[in-house]
Structures are given as structure tokens and as C-alpha cells.
Structure 1
Amino acid sequence: MTIDLFAGGGGASVGIEKALGRPVSLALNHNPYAVALHAVNHPKTRHICQDIETADPIKATRGRPVFLLWASPSCTQFSRGRHALPAERQLREMGWRVLDWVRATRPVVVCMENVVEYLKWGPLNADGYPIREREGETWNAFVQAFRDLGYSIDWTRLNAADCGAPTARHRLFVQARRDGHPIRWPEPTHGPQTGRPWKRTADFLDWSQEAPSIFNRKKDLVPATMERIFQGFERFIVNDPDPYIAPPEAKISRNDNVDLVSAFLTQNNTGMVGRDVRQPLSTLTSKACNQSLVLAYMTRLRNNAVGSSLGDPLATICASGAHHAEIRVSAYAIKYYSEGGVLQDLRQPVGTITTRDRFAVVTIHGNDYVVSDIGFRFLTDRELFDLQGFNRDFLEGREYQIDLIANGKPLTGKQKKLMVGNSVAPPAAAAVVSAAVAPYSDESFSLPLAA
């Protein structure tokens, strides 16, 4: 058998099936919506909707021998983002439940995935916070428990982008085995040292999705979001000599005369500006809402005009009156940058006056453009799944189903984001399992099924 504990939306299962060429035998998860999503996409897998705390490994496996057990216990109790909150002891102890399954079913190979901070697993104080002086103490006991059961064990840190996923997700991977074969880890297939570039976020975005203007919304974007947008605008468009230009289908601004659309990603975390869409997506969290797309709609200035100072005479006014652009920071930028805009100091003279407000001038490949609008939107559920690795490229043309009815109701966006944010990136899981089962690619090897 092959088993996926904490199966969730199915990232590990997709990777396992890719590596082995056959369905996962058993998937366990306590969330009925996750089980429903997994079942739609893995119809040949037997599903158990039950908490691992109460599930009986022997009954679940029906006594059959287990070759591979994959487990990705809750990472929220160990991630850096939780340091200000007390831990939930039950979730923090899920690793021991995995060991219960290992002890009961004696799998040949065990693979685990978690955040890198899992290595700091240690005891908690009376208030529920980790005792810093005892970091790693519980992890060392956990490792020793595997060795006491006759397993060799090793661990490493892998980036999903190195395995061909369009997301830069750094995670801890653990491998334990009792067959005497050495533990192997996958070599990077993508990245600077491989001759194959990382997969780009841009290639998995739906450019036809509308990005509403950041201005004149019914409900203003919060100041922190506006600040990140303008900082990203400065870094990825104004100061980038070669900003990313979106494909033609991205021209859905309210303006009729858009010539170019430039794009970048904001990172909705404190202290982070954003990301170039030519890079892999940053790590998705359990809420999967930290990444947003920003589009700058740009119109080329006539005859490469560069404007003039307010102290100079106004250039010739054409009949349309549309060839003069005011180069100023918008009212929104003024509101959130009272000491001066990102693009120019508000205490300095502005550029040429016009009848229409413009945002800024950007020079791209020697041509000057005015930015007439800025769009902002969150990534869609489909984009998030594709970027995590559940895409047609990896699935060889098959589309991972995420729109389904569960318990008589459509799966909500919040539920989908929870599943994709908590999932294992399928290409990373496939790479780890492929390396783990490499000794068995030769039929002369036999499986050590006896306990």
C-alpha cells in the first residue's frame, strides 16, 4: 500500500502518483471538504474522513503491508508567523501520531514534509510558548524513536521551484527507511545551476481577469496595501530598466488608449514589497492570500515627449488636447505619502498641466509612457492551484478539479485557499518519492515486506 496521511487537497498524492505511476491506496484527513476535493481528483484511492488521533492504523490498512507512508502534519504550530501566539499542544504533537502509524504498519519508506522550523520542535512552557533553551529537544527524541524502530533517517531542505514548481516554497523533507538502501535526495532540475530556468509566475496567470483600479473604489484599499503597491511600482516598473510587459489580453483597463501593461506581484506581508512575475511565486500560506497582482496601464507619449517645467511655456496644444500629460503623484499617493511621493517629492514643481490626471512617466526601451491607471487584484483560486503545481503541465494535460459540490454546497474560496495553502507542492513530492524509490526501478530488488 501507499498511504497519504493529512491528505488535504492532494498535493502529496499527486506527487506520489506521478512518481509511482499508480494511485495512492489510502488517504486520511479529518476535513470533509478536503476529503471531497481529494476524492474527486483521486477516484481510485480509498478515503477515510477521520482525525488521526482516533483512526486505527490496522483497521485502516486492513492488515495489508505498506510500502510508502507520506505524512505532512500541521505546520502552523512551527512556522515563523506564529511566534507571537501560544501553541496548540495537540496539533504540535501530530508527529507522534505519525510514529504510531509507523510502529503499527511498518512501512518500508516514510516521507514527511513540514516547515524548516520543525527542526526546533521542543517542549512548551506553562503558557504554551516554546522554551527557547530547549529548542530541538523533542525533534531529537522523534528522530531517535525512528532509529529505535530499525529505520535509518535523514532530512534536507528543498525548494519546490528547484523541482519544477512555479512557486519558491522552501520546506523540510524527512525520509526514513528500513530496507537497507541509502537515503537519496533529488537533484535540482530547475534553477541557476541546472541550465533550465525556474518556472515563471507570469506563465500561470490568467491575464484576462480584470484588475480593478486602485483609485475611486467603493471601499478604499487600506494604507498598508497602497504603500506596498507604490513601493512595488517604484521598484519593478519605474526603476527597472526592463520591466515585465504583460501579454495583449491584459489590456482591460477602463482607458481606451492603453499601449502597454506592465505587471508585478505585491507581497501582502509586513516589510515585504513584492516580486517580479518572471520569478516563481512566493510561498503560499494557509490563507493563500498573500500574493496580489498589480497592473500598470500605460499610454505612449506622442513623439517621445518628455514634458516641461511649469516655469517654461506650454508646448503647442493640439486640437484633441490630449498630448499634454500632468506628471504627478495621485491624490491617493499624496494621502499615504504626506512627506513626499514614491515617484517624486510633492514639494517639488509638477510637470506639464493637462485636462486629465496622469500618474507618472515611465521610460521603457527608450520610449516614454504615461501610466493612466493601476489595477490590483488577488490571484484566483485556479491560479493559486496552478502555481502550487496542480497545473496541466505537471498533470500532463489533465485539469485538477477544484469547483465541486460538497455536502450540497459549492466549495468556497476560503476552503479552496486553505487546502492549496496547506498543500505540498506536487513537483516537490514527486521528486522526493522518485529519489526514494530509485532502488526499486530494477526488478531484481524485492520488497522487504515482513515487519
Structure 2
Amino acid sequence: MEELIIDNFCGGGGTSKGIKMATGRCVDVAINHDEIAIKMHKTNHPYTKHYIEDIYDVDPLEVTKGRPVALAWFSPACNHYSRARGGKPVDNKVRGLAWVVVKWALLTRPRVNMLENVEEFQTWGPLKIDEKGRPYPDISKMGITFKGFIAILTKGIKDNSVLEECCAFLDIDLNSEQADTLRKGLGYKLEYRPLRACDYGAPTTRKRFFMVARCDGKPIVWPEPTHGDPEQIEARLGILKPWRTAAECIDWSIPCPSIFETSEEIKKRYGIDAKRPLAENTLKRIARGFQKFVIDNPSPFIVRIGQTGLAGDGLQYELDSPLTTITTKAEHCLVTPYPSCYDTETTDNEVRGQALEEPLATIPTNNRFELITAFIARQFKSSTGHKLDEPLGTITTVDKSNLVMAFLMKYYGSDIGQRLDEPLHTITTKDRFGLVIIKGEYYRIVDIGIRMLQPSELFKAQGFPGDYIIDRDYTGKRYPKTAQTHNVGNSVSPVLPKALVEANLPELCEENLREVI
């Protein structure tokens, strides 16, 4: 009798995709309470049996119907553990979702259980009640419930308070035979550790807690990383592949409107809606990012603008490769972009961005990633240009390069700013207000663009393959971008379940490997 694979999944279904990548088959059962998540899952995994139910209400015996379970995967909600939540009140039921692992282990005894969550899951402990009657974590007892959870799955528990909590969540009588079984322990061998998606081939630094528990007598195996920091010796020697980068996730054909254009101009030019003018804090963040990632960057990332639009010809260049002829025309110049995540700033002067040569940071459920670009052109010293030690001509709204310099001066804090209808203050190589030096050549920033990263780019950064359907369900109904972003932020990067299943359940992957060979 073929063993079942059960996925108590979250978000966009990355776990099921990773398992399919490893085994060549869809998971047999997928459970989620969210209708949109289930529809996205069913669109991409049509042969899976789907349950749109609260995980507490699902009866493992009814789902399995007596068939053995090879793997049960669990991704209980993590938002009531995450450090991003801070000191906000928590939902006791949400924090107790992991007890479902015990329920499945007790009733169906999967050979292997795997769980994914944020690292703060290890702080799972009792709650206290504030003056408004709202529960919040008891800091003095952090981790007690987590340790009890591990004890119940393994060698048994002595803490009656934790056992009482478990039985209350699972509706088990404390005086029952089932409660006695939990007290003695379910006998699983269990290990856990954090893993990063970028170390296994996804272009995101997403780091999560993973637990593997098995009862079949076989050892728990942690997969070896396949990728690493390109500066480390392992990557330089070819032992590891270099981390995949944020750059490969960007769709360069999507317009990146100027920060100096109005909403009406952007709508007319690109046919898209963009908020203008930008908020003061946004402008400050852009300027700080430009200082770090563009002007002070000794090795800027370069993309060519094609004749058909932004990267229409798909050409990108490393700095040790020859560049094509650079002109000041907007359709053929250089771009030095960087991603920024704007909800993570903590101080006025902190820069929350990254270079495109790095994996993208962890993707949240509400999109906060922006792509910010510096359009730059060579600083020609001719009759049509200006020397570096003389004033520029009168500044107009047409000459965006002058707007850029005035903007950067204001937000760098190196000047109090100036009127836009007077000559720009003398530009020197020391101040470099809007100048970028590339291999000794001066380039002037002629425009600044900004746009939000799109769901398709975020799914790619999370490690999903390009053919994964994210924008519509199996009936053809389209999802809004907010739903797509929510699903990718909640999802597991497919590369990690793939690696874990291949390492711990190779027998399920053998047929798939034979087909590949």
C-alpha cells in the first residue's frame, strides 16, 4: 500500500512544490483554512485532495482512511511568534497550532514529521493576561511549552501544566489512555535547526526553523548546503555554487517611473498608477540608499537600457566587460539599481537596502520591497557638457540631472539645498553630489526611478519556478496583487522541503531520480 504524503501547508504552497520537485508526485493531501491559498494550491497541484478547513477540525483518521503516512509536513502560523510582532497581544489558539503535530503523531504515526516556523518558535511558552484581558507571552517562562512539545513527541513529559495545555487543545481527557500515552512520550527521534533558503539555491536570505522527527529507526539527515557566499573559499573553489542574487529576479522590462514626474505624467506615459509626490521619509531613504549603493559603491551593478525599453534587449554587464557606446539618450544609458525594504527602518540614518549581487532579504506578507534605480550617463567634457569645477546651466524641470543633484544635496545633509531656478552650486570631485565614478570615468545621475517589486519577482526570489501559476485560480478567476504577495510571504521556499525530503526520504525520490536519468 503506497504511503501518503500530507501537507498542512501555508501561503502559496512552496512545501508541496518542493516535495514534488524531490519525488516527482503531488502530495496526496493538502490542508489550509484559507480559500485563496487552497485555490492557488489546487491550480498548481490538481491531483491533490484538498481540505479547506481549520487544521484543528481535520480528523487525521478520516483523511488517511487507514493508509500509512510516510511524511506529514506542518507549517503552523508563525505571526504570533515572530519578532516582527513586538509586544503586541497574541492569540492563544494560533500559538497552539503546533499541537496538531502531536495529534497526527498520536493517531496516524507518520514515519517522518517535518515542521517549519520562525526561529522564535523556540520561545513558545505560557501566556499572561494584561489589564485589558488580552494574552501576551510570559517572558519569565519563555520556551517552557516548546520543551514540553518536544518531550511529548520523544521520551515523555513531567510538566503537567504543559500536558494539560496539550490535551485541552486536542480535546483529550487527562485521565484517558491517550493522555497517558502522551505523558510517556511518542517515541520519535527528533532534531531541529535553522536553515537559510539561499544556501540551497533560492535567491532569498529567508531563514527558518526546521524540525524533523522520525519513528522508523532511520537516522535524521540534514542536507548539505549547495550554495554559499561567493567570497568564501568553498564557492571560489567550486565546491559550492555562489548564492543566487536578487538581480536575476528583477523583470527589467517593467517601467521604473521617475521620482520627479507627477502621477498624471506617469499615468500618461506608462499607463500605470504611481503615488507622487513621494513622502519625505521615502525621499530621505532614497537619498541614503543612493549614497551607499550608487555613489559610494566601488563596483556598481550595471544594466543596459535597450532601444525597446528598460532592458528590452536583456543585456547586462559586469564591470570587467566592455560597455557599448554610452550616450545621454534616455533609451541607451546605464542603470545602477538596488532593492530597498521600507518597513524595517529603525533610525533616521539607517539604510535598509541591499546590493543586487546579494540574495533578496526575507519576503514579508505585505509587499515592502522597492526597486530604486539610478539612470546615469557619462560626464562628457565638451561644448554640450560641463566641467566638474564650473556651475551648470539654468535648472529647469526638463533637465532631470540637475533636479537629481539638488535633491541629493538636500537629503545628504551636506547642504541646506537651493532654488531650482539658479545655477547649481559648484560641483567638486570631493562632494560628488550626483556623480558616480566607474573605473576612473565620471558619470552623472540623470534621473532616479522607483517602483514596487511585483509578485512574480517575489515568487522567483522565494525559489518558485517560473511556471508556477500565481495570478489566477483553476477556474480562471484572477487574484489581486495583495493576495499574491500575501501568499508568497507566507510560503515556504520550495528548495528547503526538496532538500529535506531528498535527504530523509530518498526511497520516495528513487523513481523520480530514475526518470531524470
TM over 0.5: yes
- Conserved 8 A contact 1:359-1:370: no
Instruction: Indicate the residue corresponding to 2:297 in structure 1.
Output: 240
Residue 220 of structure 1 and its aligned partner are, at CA, apart by: 2.0
Give the structure-1-normalised TM-score. Answer: 0.85
Within-5 A mapping of 1:24-39:
24-39=27-42
Displacement of 1:308? 4.2
Show the 5 A alignment for 1:280-319: 280-287=359-366, 289-303=367-381, 307-309=387-389
Question: CA separation of 1:323/1:293 partners in 2, compared to 1, >3 Å: closer, same or farther?
Answer: closer
Corresponding residue of 1:186: 223
- Structure 2 letter corresponding to 1:67: A
Deviation at 1:307, TM superposition (A): 2.9
Query: For 1:349-402, what per-residue CA distance to the aligned partner results, in whole angstroms no more than 9, with x for missing partners?
Result: 82269xxxx97111112211111111111111111111101124xxxxxx0011
Deviation at 1:441, TM superposition (A): 7.0
Unaligned runs of 5+ in 1: 393-398, 444-451
Sequence identity of aligned pairs in percent?
Answer: 37
Contact 2:408 2:434 in 1 (8 A): no
Q: Which residue of 1 aligns with 2:318?
A: none
Shift of 1:418: 0.9
Partner of 1:107, secondary structure, is coil
Alignment equivalent of 2:280, drawn from 216, 223, 231? 223
- Is the contact made by 1:301 and 1:323 (CA closer than 8 Å) also made in structure 2? no
Q: Give me the whole-angstrom Cα distance separating, in 2, the residues matched to 1:255 and 1:237.
A: 20
User: What SS does structure 1 have at the residue aligned with 2:303?
Assistant: coil
Query: What is aligned with 1:350?
Result: 425
User: What's the CA shift string for 1:121-154, capped at 9, x where partnerless?
Assistant: 1111113221111110000000011011110111
| Cα displacement (A) at 1:181 | 1.2
Query: Taking structure 1 as reference, are residues 333 and 258 closer, same or farther at Cα in structure 2, changes over 3 Å only?
Result: farther
Q: 1:217 to 1:323 in 2, by over 3 A?
A: closer
Quick one: structure 1 residues 332 and 223, their matched pair in 2 at CA, closer, same or farther if it must change by over 3 Å? farther
Structure 2 portions without partners, runs of 5+: 155-184, 264-275, 313-327, 419-423, 512-517
- Partners in 1 of 2:187 and 2:504 — Cα distance? 17
1:49 aligns with 2:123: no
Q: Could you say which residue in structure 1 is the equivalent of 2:150?
A: 143
Aligned to 1:112, the other structure's residue is in SS state: strand
Say if 2:337 and 2:356, in contact at 8 Å, map to a contact too.
yes
The whole-number CA distance in structure 2 between the counterparts of 1:123 and 1:89 is 9
The 1:323–1:216 alpha-carbon spacing in structure 2 relative to 1, beyond 3 Å, is: closer
Which residue in 1 is equivalent to 2:266? none
Q: Distance in 1 between matches of 2:119 and 2:10?
A: 20
The 1:328/1:198 distance shift into structure 2, 3 A limit, reads closer
Letter aligned with residue 364 of structure 1: I
How far 1:324 moved relative to its partner?
A: 13
Contact 1:200 1:280 in 2 (8 A): yes
Map residues 10-21 of structure 1 onto 2, 5 A cutoff: 10-21=13-24
TM-score by length of 2: 0.75
- The total of aligned residue pairs comes to 417
Mapping for residues 137-216 of structure 1, pairs under 5 Å = 137-147=144-154, 148-192=185-229, 193=234, 194-216=239-261
* 1:130 and 2:134 are equivalent in the alignment: no
Q: For residues 77 and 188 of structure 1, what CA distance do their matches in structure 2 show?
A: 29
Relative to structure 1, is the Cα distance of residues 182 and 126 closer, same or farther in structure 2, using a 3 angstrom cutoff?
same
Closer/same/farther in 2, CA of residues 173 and 325 from structure 1, 3 Å limit: closer
Judged with a 3 Å threshold, the aligned counterparts in structure 2 of structure 1 residues 370 and 441 are, in CA distance, closer, same or farther, namely closer
Q: Residues 258 and 301 from structure 1, CA distance in 2 versus in 1: closer, same or farther, beyond 3 angstroms?
A: farther
Once the two structures are TM-superposed, the CA of residue 171 in structure 1 deviates from its matched residue by 0.5
Counterpart secondary structure, 2:483: helix
CA drift of 1:225 comes to 2.0
Give the match for residue 273 of structure 1.
352
Contact 1:7/1:27 (CA < 8 Å) preserved in 2?
A: no
Are the counterparts in 1 of residues 6 and 72 from structure 2 also a CA contact under 8 Å? yes
Q: Deviations over 1:408-448 (max 9, x none)?
A: 842111111111000000001111121111477789xxxxx
- Aligned Cα RMSD in Å? 2.9
Q: Alpha-carbon deviation of 1:309?
A: 4.0
Distance in structure 2 (CA, Å) of the matches to 1:104 and 1:372? 66
Residue number among 311, 326, 330 corresponding to 2:406 in the alignment: 330
| Matched residue, 2:68 | 65
User: Is it true that 1:115 corresponds to 2:172 in the alignment?
Assistant: no
Change (3 A) 1:333 1:224: farther
Contact 2:9 2:15 in 1 (8 A): no
What is the Cα deviation at residue 251 of structure 1?
A: 5.7
Query: 1:248 and 1:330, CA in 2 relative to 1: closer, same or farther beyond 3 A?
Result: same
Query: 1 CA distance for matches of 2:477 and 2:86?
Result: 36
Q: Which residue of 1 aligns with 2:165?
A: none
Instruction: List per-residue Cα deviations over 1:58-80 (Å, max 9, x = no partner).
Output: 11222211110000100101111
Q: Secondary structure at the match of 1:78?
A: coil
